[in-house]
Structure 1
Protein backbone atom coordinates (compact mmCIF):
# COMPACT_ATOMS: atom_id res chain seq x y z
CA UNK A 1 0.00 0.00 0.00
CA UNK A 2 1.37 3.40 -1.00
CA UNK A 3 2.21 5.77 1.84
CA UNK A 4 1.75 9.46 1.08
CA UNK A 5 3.95 12.16 2.61
CA UNK A 6 2.81 15.70 3.34
CA UNK A 7 5.52 18.09 4.53
CA UNK A 8 3.94 20.70 6.82
CA UNK A 9 6.17 23.79 6.91
CA UNK A 10 5.50 27.02 8.75
CA UNK A 11 6.26 30.24 6.87
CA UNK A 12 9.37 32.29 7.59
CA UNK A 13 9.67 35.14 10.07
CA UNK A 14 7.71 38.40 9.74
CA UNK A 15 7.91 41.66 11.69
CA UNK A 16 4.79 40.54 13.55
CA UNK A 17 6.52 37.36 14.69
CA UNK A 18 9.55 39.32 15.84
CA UNK A 19 7.28 41.49 17.99
CA UNK A 20 5.44 38.49 19.46
CA UNK A 21 2.09 39.62 18.06
CA UNK A 22 -0.96 37.64 17.02
CA UNK A 23 -0.87 37.80 13.24
CA UNK A 24 -3.61 35.86 11.49
CA UNK A 25 -5.19 37.31 8.35
CA UNK A 26 -2.95 40.40 8.17
CA UNK A 27 -1.01 39.86 4.96
CA UNK A 28 2.53 40.60 6.13
CA UNK A 29 5.50 39.71 3.93
CA UNK A 30 8.62 38.03 5.25
CA UNK A 31 11.08 40.39 6.91
CA UNK A 32 14.74 40.46 5.85
CA UNK A 33 15.69 38.40 8.88
CA UNK A 34 13.09 35.83 7.93
CA UNK A 35 14.37 35.55 4.36
CA UNK A 36 17.96 35.10 5.53
CA UNK A 37 16.98 32.54 8.15
CA UNK A 38 15.12 30.45 5.57
CA UNK A 39 18.12 30.51 3.26
CA UNK A 40 20.40 29.42 6.11
CA UNK A 41 18.09 26.55 7.05
CA UNK A 42 17.89 25.45 3.42
CA UNK A 43 21.69 25.50 3.03
CA UNK A 44 22.45 23.76 6.32
CA UNK A 45 19.65 21.17 6.49
CA UNK A 46 17.43 19.24 4.09
CA UNK A 47 13.93 20.15 3.03
CA UNK A 48 12.37 17.10 1.35
CA UNK A 49 11.67 17.01 -2.35
CA UNK A 50 8.05 17.34 -3.43
CA UNK A 51 5.97 16.75 -6.53
CA UNK A 52 3.63 19.62 -5.72
CA UNK A 53 3.56 22.66 -3.43
CA UNK A 54 0.35 23.86 -1.77
CA UNK A 55 0.31 27.10 0.20
CA UNK A 56 -1.86 29.44 2.18
CA UNK A 57 -2.57 32.43 -0.12
CA UNK A 58 -0.93 34.92 2.27
CA UNK A 59 2.33 36.57 1.18
CA UNK A 60 4.51 35.14 3.94
CA UNK A 61 3.65 31.59 2.90
CA UNK A 62 3.97 32.20 -0.84
CA UNK A 63 7.39 33.83 -0.34
CA UNK A 64 8.48 30.88 1.80
CA UNK A 65 7.38 28.48 -0.95
CA UNK A 66 9.38 30.45 -3.53
CA UNK A 67 12.53 30.25 -1.40
CA UNK A 68 12.27 26.59 -0.44
CA UNK A 69 10.79 25.23 -3.69
CA UNK A 70 11.73 27.73 -6.42
CA UNK A 71 11.33 25.23 -9.27
CA UNK A 72 7.77 24.16 -8.45
CA UNK A 73 4.48 25.90 -9.13
CA UNK A 74 2.62 26.79 -5.92
CA UNK A 75 -1.14 26.22 -5.63
CA UNK A 76 -2.97 28.64 -3.31
CA UNK A 77 -5.51 26.98 -1.00
CA UNK A 78 -7.76 29.06 1.25
CA UNK A 79 -8.32 26.01 3.47
CA UNK A 80 -4.89 26.52 5.04
CA UNK A 81 -4.98 30.23 5.89
CA UNK A 82 -4.23 31.17 9.51
CA UNK A 83 -6.80 31.50 12.32
CA UNK A 84 -8.74 34.76 12.31
CA UNK A 85 -7.74 36.41 15.61
CA UNK A 86 -10.47 39.04 15.39
CA UNK A 87 -10.01 41.80 17.98
CA UNK A 88 -6.62 40.37 19.02
CA UNK A 89 -5.15 40.76 15.54
CA UNK A 90 -1.86 42.66 15.48
CA UNK A 91 -1.64 42.88 19.28
CA UNK A 92 0.85 41.37 21.71
CA UNK A 93 0.65 40.04 25.25
CA UNK A 94 1.42 43.39 26.89
CA UNK A 95 -1.52 45.03 25.10
CA UNK A 96 -3.93 42.20 25.88
CA UNK A 97 -3.00 41.02 29.37
CA UNK A 98 -5.78 43.04 31.05
CA UNK A 99 -8.40 42.23 28.42
CA UNK A 100 -11.18 40.04 29.89
CA UNK A 101 -11.96 38.51 26.50
CA UNK A 102 -8.31 37.58 26.03
CA UNK A 103 -8.14 35.88 29.44
CA UNK A 104 -11.25 33.83 28.65
CA UNK A 105 -9.82 32.92 25.26
CA UNK A 106 -6.62 31.59 26.83
CA UNK A 107 -8.58 29.73 29.52
CA UNK A 108 -10.52 27.94 26.78
CA UNK A 109 -7.26 26.70 25.27
CA UNK A 110 -7.78 29.19 22.43
CA UNK A 111 -10.81 27.16 21.32
CA UNK A 112 -13.51 29.78 21.91
CA UNK A 113 -13.56 32.54 19.27
CA UNK A 114 -11.95 35.91 20.02
CA UNK A 115 -14.36 38.83 19.54
CA UNK A 116 -14.99 39.00 15.81
CA UNK A 117 -12.67 36.06 15.17
CA UNK A 118 -12.66 32.34 14.46
CA UNK A 119 -12.98 29.53 17.00
CA UNK A 120 -10.55 26.66 17.28
CA UNK A 121 -13.38 24.33 16.28
CA UNK A 122 -14.05 26.34 13.12
CA UNK A 123 -10.35 26.24 12.26
CA UNK A 124 -10.20 22.48 12.84
CA UNK A 125 -13.24 21.90 10.61
CA UNK A 126 -11.75 24.05 7.85
CA UNK A 127 -8.33 22.42 7.83
CA UNK A 128 -9.88 18.95 8.14
CA UNK A 129 -11.76 19.61 4.90
CA UNK A 130 -8.54 20.94 3.36
CA UNK A 131 -6.36 17.98 4.32
CA UNK A 132 -9.04 15.55 3.09
CA UNK A 133 -9.23 17.36 -0.22
CA UNK A 134 -5.44 17.41 -0.53
CA UNK A 135 -5.13 13.71 0.29
CA UNK A 136 -7.76 12.85 -2.32
CA UNK A 137 -5.88 14.87 -4.93
CA UNK A 138 -2.66 13.04 -4.02
CA UNK A 139 -4.33 9.65 -4.41
CA UNK A 140 -6.10 10.59 -7.65
CA UNK A 141 -2.89 11.92 -9.20
CA UNK A 142 -0.51 9.47 -7.51
CA UNK A 143 1.48 12.24 -5.83
CA UNK A 144 3.60 10.60 -3.14
CA UNK A 145 5.14 13.77 -1.70
CA UNK A 146 3.59 17.25 -1.29
CA UNK A 147 4.91 20.31 0.54
CA UNK A 148 2.27 22.34 2.40
CA UNK A 149 3.43 25.84 3.38
CA UNK A 150 1.12 27.22 6.01
CA UNK A 151 0.85 28.84 9.47
CA UNK A 152 1.69 27.89 13.03
CA UNK A 153 -1.92 27.71 14.16
CA UNK A 154 -2.89 25.49 11.25
CA UNK A 155 -0.06 23.05 11.92
CA UNK A 156 -0.73 22.94 15.67
CA UNK A 157 -4.43 22.22 15.26
CA UNK A 158 -3.92 19.74 12.45
CA UNK A 159 -1.39 17.67 14.40
CA UNK A 160 -3.30 17.96 17.66
CA UNK A 161 -6.60 16.91 16.11
CA UNK A 162 -5.47 14.15 13.75
CA UNK A 163 -1.82 13.35 14.40
CA UNK A 164 -0.32 10.33 16.16
CA UNK A 165 1.26 10.14 18.67
CA UNK A 166 -1.20 12.23 20.69
CA UNK A 167 0.34 15.25 22.44
CA UNK A 168 -0.80 18.46 24.09
CA UNK A 169 -1.48 21.14 21.49
CA UNK A 170 1.40 23.33 22.74
CA UNK A 171 3.87 20.53 21.92
CA UNK A 172 3.01 20.94 18.24
CA UNK A 173 3.95 24.65 18.17
CA UNK A 174 6.58 25.03 15.44
CA UNK A 175 9.09 27.77 14.83
CA UNK A 176 9.31 29.72 11.58
CA UNK A 177 10.60 27.75 8.61
CA UNK A 178 10.16 24.45 10.43
CA UNK A 179 7.53 21.74 10.74
CA UNK A 180 6.86 18.02 10.36
CA UNK A 181 6.46 15.35 7.72
CA UNK A 182 3.25 13.36 8.16
CA UNK A 183 2.50 9.93 6.69
CA UNK A 184 -0.97 9.14 5.35
CA UNK A 185 -2.39 5.85 4.10
CA UNK A 186 -5.87 5.37 2.60
CA UNK A 187 -6.85 2.63 5.04
CA UNK A 188 -5.71 4.49 8.18
CA UNK A 189 -7.31 7.75 7.04
CA UNK A 190 -10.64 6.17 6.07
CA UNK A 191 -10.85 4.16 9.30
CA UNK A 192 -9.58 6.64 11.90
CA UNK A 193 -9.26 10.04 10.18
CA UNK A 194 -5.68 10.08 11.49
CA UNK A 195 -2.10 10.14 10.26
CA UNK A 196 1.38 9.47 11.67
CA UNK A 197 3.72 12.34 12.53
CA UNK A 198 6.91 11.02 11.02
CA UNK A 199 9.84 13.46 11.39
CA UNK A 200 10.70 17.09 12.22
CA UNK A 201 11.54 19.47 9.38
CA UNK A 202 13.92 20.37 7.94
CA UNK A 203 15.57 16.95 8.20
CA UNK A 204 18.55 17.08 10.53
CA UNK A 205 16.81 19.05 13.28
CA UNK A 206 15.56 17.51 16.50
CA UNK A 207 11.99 18.02 17.73
CA UNK A 208 13.29 20.40 20.42
CA UNK A 209 14.89 22.53 17.70
CA UNK A 210 11.64 22.62 15.72
CA UNK A 211 9.36 23.71 18.56
CA UNK A 212 8.50 27.35 19.09
CA UNK A 213 8.84 29.04 22.45
CA UNK A 214 5.16 29.47 23.32
CA UNK A 215 5.93 31.54 26.41
CA UNK A 216 5.93 34.72 24.33
CA UNK A 217 2.24 34.12 23.59
CA UNK A 218 1.05 33.62 27.17
CA UNK A 219 0.40 36.07 29.93
CA UNK A 220 3.37 37.01 32.15
CA UNK A 221 3.86 34.37 34.84
CA UNK A 222 1.53 31.88 33.10
CA UNK A 223 2.67 28.58 31.62
CA UNK A 224 2.02 27.84 27.98
Structure 2
Protein backbone atom coordinates (compact mmCIF):
# COMPACT_ATOMS: atom_id res chain seq x y z
CA UNK A 1 0.00 0.00 0.00
CA UNK A 2 1.23 3.49 -0.84
CA UNK A 3 0.23 5.62 2.15
CA UNK A 4 0.47 9.36 1.55
CA UNK A 5 0.56 11.51 4.68
CA UNK A 6 0.37 15.26 4.73
CA UNK A 7 2.61 16.77 7.41
CA UNK A 8 1.14 18.09 10.63
CA UNK A 9 0.09 21.70 11.00
CA UNK A 10 2.45 24.69 11.04
CA UNK A 11 1.63 28.20 12.17
CA UNK A 12 1.60 29.30 8.51
CA UNK A 13 -1.01 26.61 7.73
CA UNK A 14 -3.06 27.70 10.71
CA UNK A 15 -2.91 31.30 9.46
CA UNK A 16 -4.10 30.31 5.98
CA UNK A 17 -0.90 31.31 4.18
CA UNK A 18 0.36 29.75 0.97
CA UNK A 19 3.22 27.54 2.11
CA UNK A 20 5.60 26.14 -0.47
CA UNK A 21 9.37 25.98 -0.08
CA UNK A 22 9.46 28.13 3.07
CA UNK A 23 10.56 25.86 5.89
CA UNK A 24 8.78 26.49 9.19
CA UNK A 25 8.57 23.73 11.83
CA UNK A 26 5.40 22.11 13.08
CA UNK A 27 3.41 24.04 15.66
CA UNK A 28 2.47 22.23 18.92
CA UNK A 29 -0.81 21.00 17.39
CA UNK A 30 1.10 19.71 14.37
CA UNK A 31 3.50 17.79 16.60
CA UNK A 32 0.54 16.16 18.34
CA UNK A 33 -1.11 15.33 14.99
CA UNK A 34 2.11 13.69 13.80
CA UNK A 35 2.46 11.66 16.99
CA UNK A 36 -1.12 10.41 16.70
CA UNK A 37 -0.60 9.43 13.06
CA UNK A 38 2.58 7.53 13.89
CA UNK A 39 0.69 5.53 16.54
CA UNK A 40 -2.36 4.94 14.32
CA UNK A 41 -0.68 3.82 11.09
CA UNK A 42 1.00 0.41 10.70
CA UNK A 43 4.79 0.33 10.90
CA UNK A 44 5.91 0.92 7.30
CA UNK A 45 8.30 -1.21 5.29
CA UNK A 46 9.69 2.05 3.90
CA UNK A 47 9.29 5.63 5.09
CA UNK A 48 9.96 8.47 2.66
CA UNK A 49 9.81 12.20 3.35
CA UNK A 50 10.02 15.52 1.62
CA UNK A 51 13.20 17.35 2.65
CA UNK A 52 11.26 20.19 4.32
CA UNK A 53 11.32 20.40 8.13
CA UNK A 54 7.57 20.04 8.64
CA UNK A 55 7.50 16.77 6.67
CA UNK A 56 10.68 15.38 8.25
CA UNK A 57 9.40 16.18 11.76
CA UNK A 58 6.20 14.29 10.97
CA UNK A 59 8.10 11.34 9.48
CA UNK A 60 10.50 11.12 12.43
CA UNK A 61 7.56 10.37 14.74
CA UNK A 62 7.27 6.92 13.13
CA UNK A 63 10.55 5.80 14.73
CA UNK A 64 11.91 4.08 11.63
CA UNK A 65 14.67 5.23 9.23
CA UNK A 66 13.53 8.06 6.97
CA UNK A 67 14.53 8.28 3.31
CA UNK A 68 14.46 11.86 1.98
CA UNK A 69 13.31 12.25 -1.64
CA UNK A 70 13.30 15.78 -3.10
CA UNK A 71 10.55 14.86 -5.57
CA UNK A 72 8.05 14.95 -2.69
CA UNK A 73 8.83 18.59 -1.80
CA UNK A 74 5.93 21.07 -1.91
CA UNK A 75 5.22 23.14 -5.00
CA UNK A 76 7.36 26.24 -5.29
CA UNK A 77 4.99 29.21 -4.92
CA UNK A 78 7.76 31.66 -5.77
CA UNK A 79 6.96 35.19 -4.62
CA UNK A 80 3.61 33.99 -3.21
CA UNK A 81 5.27 31.78 -0.58
CA UNK A 82 4.05 32.62 2.94
CA UNK A 83 1.51 35.13 1.56
CA UNK A 84 -2.27 35.08 2.07
CA UNK A 85 -4.17 33.61 -0.89
CA UNK A 86 -5.73 37.06 -1.38
CA UNK A 87 -2.31 38.35 -2.53
CA UNK A 88 -3.01 36.88 -5.98
CA UNK A 89 -5.68 38.76 -7.93
CA UNK A 90 -8.63 37.12 -9.73
CA UNK A 91 -6.83 37.07 -13.10
CA UNK A 92 -3.82 35.36 -11.51
CA UNK A 93 -5.99 32.68 -9.91
CA UNK A 94 -7.87 32.15 -13.17
CA UNK A 95 -4.62 31.66 -15.12
CA UNK A 96 -3.35 29.19 -12.53
CA UNK A 97 -6.59 27.18 -12.42
CA UNK A 98 -7.14 27.08 -16.17
CA UNK A 99 -3.60 26.12 -17.22
CA UNK A 100 -1.61 23.39 -15.40
CA UNK A 101 1.57 24.69 -17.08
CA UNK A 102 1.09 28.20 -15.62
CA UNK A 103 4.01 29.24 -13.42
CA UNK A 104 3.36 31.78 -10.65
CA UNK A 105 6.11 34.42 -10.45
CA UNK A 106 9.34 32.68 -9.55
CA UNK A 107 7.54 29.40 -8.82
CA UNK A 108 6.60 26.04 -10.29
CA UNK A 109 3.66 24.78 -12.35
CA UNK A 110 1.21 22.04 -11.39
CA UNK A 111 2.43 20.14 -14.45
CA UNK A 112 6.02 20.18 -13.15
CA UNK A 113 4.88 18.88 -9.74
CA UNK A 114 2.85 16.19 -11.49
CA UNK A 115 5.79 15.06 -13.60
CA UNK A 116 8.17 14.59 -10.68
CA UNK A 117 5.56 12.94 -8.46
CA UNK A 118 4.39 10.49 -11.16
CA UNK A 119 8.00 9.36 -11.55
CA UNK A 120 8.35 8.90 -7.78
CA UNK A 121 5.07 6.94 -7.61
CA UNK A 122 6.09 4.66 -10.47
CA UNK A 123 9.33 3.82 -8.67
CA UNK A 124 7.46 2.93 -5.47
CA UNK A 125 4.77 0.76 -7.08
CA UNK A 126 6.46 -2.63 -6.57
CA UNK A 127 7.56 -1.93 -2.99
CA UNK A 128 4.10 -0.61 -2.11
CA UNK A 129 2.52 -3.76 -3.54
CA UNK A 130 4.68 -5.85 -1.19
CA UNK A 131 4.30 -3.76 2.01
CA UNK A 132 3.25 -0.38 3.33
CA UNK A 133 5.29 2.51 1.96
CA UNK A 134 4.54 5.73 3.83
CA UNK A 135 5.37 9.01 2.10
CA UNK A 136 5.17 12.18 4.20
CA UNK A 137 4.66 15.12 1.89
CA UNK A 138 2.53 18.19 1.15
CA UNK A 139 -0.74 19.23 -0.46
CA UNK A 140 0.38 19.57 -4.10
CA UNK A 141 2.48 16.38 -4.35
CA UNK A 142 -0.28 14.37 -2.65
CA UNK A 143 -2.84 15.72 -5.11
CA UNK A 144 -0.45 14.84 -7.96
CA UNK A 145 -0.12 11.27 -6.62
CA UNK A 146 -3.90 10.94 -6.42
CA UNK A 147 -4.18 12.21 -10.01
CA UNK A 148 -1.59 9.55 -11.00
CA UNK A 149 -3.63 6.84 -9.25
CA UNK A 150 -6.85 7.94 -10.98
CA UNK A 151 -5.22 8.38 -14.39
CA UNK A 152 -6.36 11.99 -14.71
CA UNK A 153 -4.62 15.26 -15.56
CA UNK A 154 -2.91 17.71 -13.22
CA UNK A 155 -5.81 20.19 -13.48
CA UNK A 156 -7.83 17.95 -11.11
CA UNK A 157 -5.73 19.33 -8.24
CA UNK A 158 -8.05 22.33 -7.96
CA UNK A 159 -10.98 19.97 -7.22
CA UNK A 160 -9.31 18.41 -4.16
CA UNK A 161 -8.74 19.51 -0.58
CA UNK A 162 -6.13 17.90 1.68
CA UNK A 163 -6.24 18.67 5.41
CA UNK A 164 -3.24 18.90 7.74
CA UNK A 165 -2.12 15.38 8.77
CA UNK A 166 -4.55 13.74 6.32
CA UNK A 167 -3.91 10.24 4.94
CA UNK A 168 -4.52 8.92 1.43
CA UNK A 169 -4.11 5.25 0.49
CA UNK A 170 -3.30 3.91 -2.97
CA UNK A 171 -3.31 0.16 -3.66
CA UNK A 172 -0.58 -0.65 -6.18
CA UNK A 173 -0.98 -4.46 -6.14
CA UNK A 174 -3.05 -4.70 -9.33
CA UNK A 175 -2.46 -3.80 -12.95
CA UNK A 176 -3.42 -0.18 -12.27
CA UNK A 177 -3.30 1.82 -9.02
CA UNK A 178 -6.55 2.19 -7.06
CA UNK A 179 -7.38 5.03 -4.68
CA UNK A 180 -8.76 3.45 -1.49
CA UNK A 181 -8.85 6.48 0.84
CA UNK A 182 -8.58 10.23 0.40
CA UNK A 183 -8.15 13.02 2.97
CA UNK A 184 -8.68 10.65 5.91
CA UNK A 185 -8.27 12.60 9.15
CA UNK A 186 -10.09 10.13 11.38
CA UNK A 187 -7.03 9.06 13.40
CA UNK A 188 -6.01 12.47 14.70
CA UNK A 189 -9.48 14.02 14.59
CA UNK A 190 -10.76 11.50 17.15
CA UNK A 191 -7.63 11.64 19.29
CA UNK A 192 -7.60 15.43 19.47
CA UNK A 193 -11.29 15.87 20.39
CA UNK A 194 -11.59 17.87 23.60
CA UNK A 195 -12.78 15.86 26.59
CA UNK A 196 -16.40 16.55 27.51
Does the TM-score normalized on the shorter chain lie above 0.5? yes
Structure 2 partner of 1:199? 181
Q: After superposition, what is the alpha-carbon deviation per residue over 1:157-204, rounded to whole angstroms, capped at 9, x for unaligned? A: 22124327999534532111112111013633xxxxxx1011347685
Structure 2 residue aligned with 1:22: 18
Report if the CA contact (8 A) 1:164-1:197 is conserved.
no
Question: What's the counterpart of residue 66 of structure 2?
Answer: 74
8 Å contact kept, 1:164–1:196: no
Change (3 A) 1:202 1:65: farther
Asked if residue 112 in structure 1 is aligned to residue 102 in structure 2, the reply is: yes
Return closer, same or farther for 1:179/1:27 CA change in 2, 3 Å cut-off.
same
Whether the 8 Å contact between 1:83 and 1:118 is mirrored in structure 2 is yes
Where structure 1 has 5 or more consecutive residues not aligned to the other structure, the ranges are 189-194, 210-224
Question: What secondary structure does 1:187 align onto?
Answer: coil
Runs of 4+ more than 4 Å apart = 40-43, 164-168, 200-205
Change (3 A) 1:103 1:187: closer
Match of 1:128 in 2: 118
Moved more, 122-131 or 157-166: 157-166
Aligned residues: 187
Q: Deviations over 1:85-132 (max 9, x none)?
A: 11211111233346x5x3344442665110111111111111111111
Highest Rg: 1 or 2? 1
In structure 2, stretches of 5+ residues that fail to align are 190-196
1:163-178 equivalences in 2 (<5 Å): 163=150, 168-178=156-166
1:182 is matched with 170
